[in-house]
Amino acid sequence: MKHYDILIIGGGPAGLTAAISARNTYPDKKIALIRREKIALIPCGIPYIFGTLEKIEDDILPDAPLEKNNVDLIINEVTGSKDNTVILKNGEEVSFDKCVLATGSKPAVPPIPGIDKDGVWFVKKNIEYLRNMKEVLNSAKEIVIIGGGFIGVELADELAKKGKKITIVEMQDSLLPTAMDKEFGDMALEVIKDKGINVLCNTRVKEITGSKSADGVILDNNNKLKADAIVVSAGYKPNLEIAEMFDIDVDHKYGIKVDEYLRTSREGIFAIGDCVRKRCCFTGDYTSIMLASTAMAHGRLAGSNLYDIKVVKGFQGTCGTFSTKIGNIAFGVAGLTEKQAKKVELNYVVGYNETVDRHPGKLPGASKIYTKLIYSRYSHILLGAQIKGGDSIGEMINMYSVIIQNKMTDMEINSMQIGTHPLLTSSPVAYPVINATVDAIMKWYK
Amino acid sequence: MKHYDILIIGGGPAGLTAAISARNTYPDKKIALIRREKIALIPCGIPYIFGTLEKIEDDILPDAPLEKNNVDLIINEVTGSKDNTVILKNGEEVSFDKCVLATGSKPAVPPIPGIDKDGVWFVKKNIEYLRNMKEVLNSAKEIVIIGGGFIGVELADELAKKGKKITIVEMQDSLLPTAMDKEFGDMALEVIKDKGINVLCNTRVKEITGSKSADGVILDNNNKLKADAIVVSAGYKPNLEIAEMFDIDVDHKYGIKVDEYLRTSREGIFAIGDCVRKRCCFTGDYTSIMLASTAMAHGRLAGSNLYDIKVVKGFQGTCGTFSTKIGNIAFGVAGLTEKQAKKVELNYVVGYNETVDRHPGKLPGASKIYTKLIYSRYSHILLGAQIKGGDSIGEMINMYSVIIQNKMTDMEINSMQIGTHPLLTSSPVAYPVINATVDAIMKWYK
């Protein structure tokens, strides 16, 4: 039986990060990472293997950091457990002092009759599965995508580049409905429609048709759509099997129960990333948000705190920070949306700003930026930001995320120093975070 | 005699911002802005009128925000003062209750023999002057630029696009030497040299030659350079004339003396922006950094605090935040450089990271990002960041600036949540702020 001081189960970004963090913190410990897949993929890059990236192999999460950090990589499946030991598929046993579960998530399967037919695909993080899926989608002409979240929208955008006839079916009233307010979802909808993609909102799939292989869907309004392939992108569910093997407490909806140091109910076993139950940093409510940003923070914290707590109160709950790009338009969201603020009865004011991301606006490459900020009306801290614009959105949303995580107030932001440059940002006079903040201040200031 | 409740002198970004901020805070006050120039320019856009922008008029700072905010615009020159009154060039007098000096800066004139000859140009913020300068530079073949700071480098990049033969003469050991550490200045140097621009570092101009009109320079190594035009970009000096008319205390090197609420030695008179003496937010030392970001923060604060202090301790000293783009490479700096930390004997550790700004790196538009972070070794707060990369640098440096202004520690940053997207940012596993921070932590962690 092999023994490791630290055993990490799962080789996605969370597991990888935990391994590196553990190595940095505990240079002398023996560390291994067990992964089911021969080749690990970059999860958020998966939509791009269907269009922009030439081949699936361009989306590989490299193993070099494991080697460089002297972490043994065990490609195998965990099929059982006893005490501080896992049993692998080939019967081998590996024992540990400390274990980190980073088992990730799997596509949710909505209860639609016919969803188990051939020709219905899920966006799994498995290279063999995706290779088959890509081949089938390549030869398909008409594709129905069930779910208009990030994966569905990004995949539609990529497949449309290949000339496919795409329909997105979304049960809520716009695209990206759990991430953004409707006005931003509608902007995304407009970009998607401009690409010739058909979008049906407020619509559910009632049934997937076809004898053995799927050939279309029936909608809740009884309309039928023909489809050569169907992709289901209806969210992800935490992988709880290995936690359950260890008799660890789990919440079947939200994930493995952990304390704020990512410790499970079993001493010595931690859990991180998509498989873990998380709370919203504002409300404390459980949240289904699964994000690499959260998983990375988890991985670094668990890796640092395995033998004693070195980083105190490092994870204060999920501060959802997303970005995406559809066509040439980028979207970013950090913290709470207006919809979410309303739902939990947070008293808020909204600040808006519209400007361009170069100054003067006649410089090449200028895009419009549209900004919406949600402030607590009485605590005055920034609760959330939504932005739409050019590529600079990707890092701008991280600035907002840092502001939110620091609980900065409107008055502090109003006197903040921000760098600007004609070829790279908005004008200092029109800089969005400041101007949208002033707009919010004007709503409570008398 | 006209009377205004609030009179702002100077129509650059600082004055404009103070006017808008005053209007937002004091909706019922009578406000005017006096400006010398018929047309105000966007200062940091000026280098781009020599290349990328079609015409100078594309770089105008619009007057519409003044009109929209019911601020009277007086185009005139202040030539004298008495009590709470200014005397204009045409003899008219304007009195005020509160006054904000936003008189800006003018190009520094280094003591080089021959610098007053025709054919020697300065980068002034005056449309008529710049129109003549542009005409002359357009017909020049060989141009010598004295000073390799931001303006000199940006101007050289623009003029090189027009096929000019350019030489930059910089007395320090690399380009952008007051803003960046040498390794970053050398990266800028490489980009500039790749454009066919000649750069002479560690070199001074001893004399400007030519009978009446300049025809070249003699260097301190006695080499001679021929030049059809010479541009001096050797920094800026605060405009202090109007402050002196009011007998306000000034520091001739650094600017008008103000307290932390931007109040001058004369009751009721505030001063903001380039004309004001500033302190570094870390050391309290006076600093010559003149930045729109600082000026904007000043403008918003003074505009809010004219009648009583509404925003408490809003300005805690300059946190220099710069960005620029040379060719396709962008540079960003926030806070202290290593050179500056050393100079004031701050005990520091440096964290480095090199990665790409897309993930996987094979996605189109990927650029390398190089990151250097300066941390206080014992206080653990981030003191400064220098980055080089693609266009995303422009907003990424603002994220760093927010981190620095919030005095975040390495451990806080290590557990921070950051959003990433394949088409917009580095990978979550390789995200630069986190990875460079971990590199810094490893230097003190045992």
Note whether B263 and B247 are within 8 A (CB): no
Q: How far is B154 from chain A (nearest CA, A)?
A: 11
Q: What is the pLDDT of residue B182?
A: 98
CA nearest to A443 within chain B: B24
Residues of A in contact with B60 (CB under 8 A): 360
Q: Report the DSSP beta bridge partners of residue A120.
A: A230
Q: State pLDDT tens for residues B172-216.
A: 999 999 999 999 999 999 999 999 999 999 999 999 999 989 999
Q: How far is B88 from chain A (nearest CA, A)?
A: 27
The share of chain B scoring above pLDDT 90, in percent, equals: 97
CA nearest to B397 within chain A: A419
How confident is the model over A243-249, as a mean pLDDT?
A: 98
The share of chain A scoring above pLDDT 90, in percent, equals: 97
Residue B446 has pLDDT above 80, yes or no: no
Which among B421, B431, B444 is the top mutation candidate for probing chain A, defined by the most A β-carbons within 10 Å of its own β-carbon?
B421
Q: State pLDDT tens for residues B47-72.
A: 999 999 989 999 999 999 999 999 99
Q: Predicted confidence band at A189 (pLDDT cuts at 50, 70, 90)? A: very high
CB-closest option in B318, B359, B395 to A395 = B395
Q: Which amino acid type is present at position A228?
A: D
Q: State pLDDT tens for residues B119-170.
A: 999 999 999 999 999 999 999 999 999 999 999 999 999 999 999 999 999 9
Q: Predicted confidence band at A155 (pLDDT cuts at 50, 70, 90)? A: very high
Q: What is the pLDDT of residue B414?
A: 93
Alpha carbons A392 and A366: distance in angstroms, whole number: 10
Q: State pLDDT tens for residues A354-372.
A: 999 999 998 988 999 999 9
Residue B293 has pLDDT above 90, yes or no: no
Q: Report the DSSP beta bridge partners of residue B35.
A: B75
CB-closest option in A60, A323, A421 to B421 = A323
Q: Predicted confidence band at A272 (pLDDT cuts at 50, 70, 90)? A: very high
Q: State pLDDT tens for residues A57-86.
A: 999 999 999 999 999 999 999 999 999 999
Q: Report the DSSP beta bridge partners of residue B348.
A: B376
Residue A446 has pLDDT above 80, yes or no: no
How many Å is the Cα radius of gyration of chain A? 23
Q: What is the pLDDT of residue A153?
A: 98
Note whether B146 and B235 are within 8 A (CB): no
SS (H, E, C) A18-61: HHHHHHHHCCCCCEEEEECCCCCECHHHHHHHHCCCCCHHHHEC
CA nearest to A359 within chain B: B45
Q: State pLDDT tens for residues A409-438.
A: 999 999 999 999 999 999 999 999 999 999
Residues of A in contact with B14 (CB under 8 A): none
CB-closest option in B322, B416, B429 to A419 = B322
The share of chain B scoring above pLDDT 70, in percent, equals: 100
Whether omega for the bond prior to residue A360 falls within 30 degrees of 0, making it cis, is yes
Q: What is the pLDDT of residue A188?
A: 98
Residues of B in contact with A54 (CB under 8 A): 362
Q: How far is A299 from chain B (nearest CA, A)?
A: 9
Q: Report the DSSP beta bridge partners of residue B198.
A: B167
How confident is the model over A255-276, as a mean pLDDT?
A: 97
Q: Predicted confidence band at B80 (pLDDT cuts at 50, 70, 90)? A: very high
How confident is the model over A36-59, as a mean pLDDT?
A: 94
Average pLDDT, chain B: 96
Which among A418, A427, A439 is the top mutation candidate for probing chain B, defined by the most B β-carbons within 10 Å of its own β-carbon?
A418
CB-closest option in A360, A391, A414 to B392 = A391
Contact between A398 and B418 using a beta-carbon 8 Å cutoff: yes
CB-closest option in A13, A314, A318 to B415 = A314
Alpha carbons B24 and B4: distance in angstroms, whole number: 16
Report the alpha-carbon angle B137-B138-B139, nearest 5. Answer: 90
Is this complex scored with an ipTM above 0.90? yes
Domains in chain A (CATH in brackets) are: 2-105+237-304 (3.50.50.60), 109-234 (3.50.50.60), 333-444 (3.30.390.30)
> Which H helix or E strand runs over A146?
strand A142-146
Contact between B401 and A418 using a beta-carbon 8 Å cutoff: yes
Whether omega for the bond prior to residue A422 falls within 30 degrees of 0, making it cis, is no
CA nearest to B417 within chain A: A293
How confident is the model over B228-252, as a mean pLDDT?
A: 98
Q: What is the pLDDT of residue B313?
A: 86
| Residue A51 in tokens | 């269009």
The share of chain A scoring above pLDDT 70, in percent, equals: 100
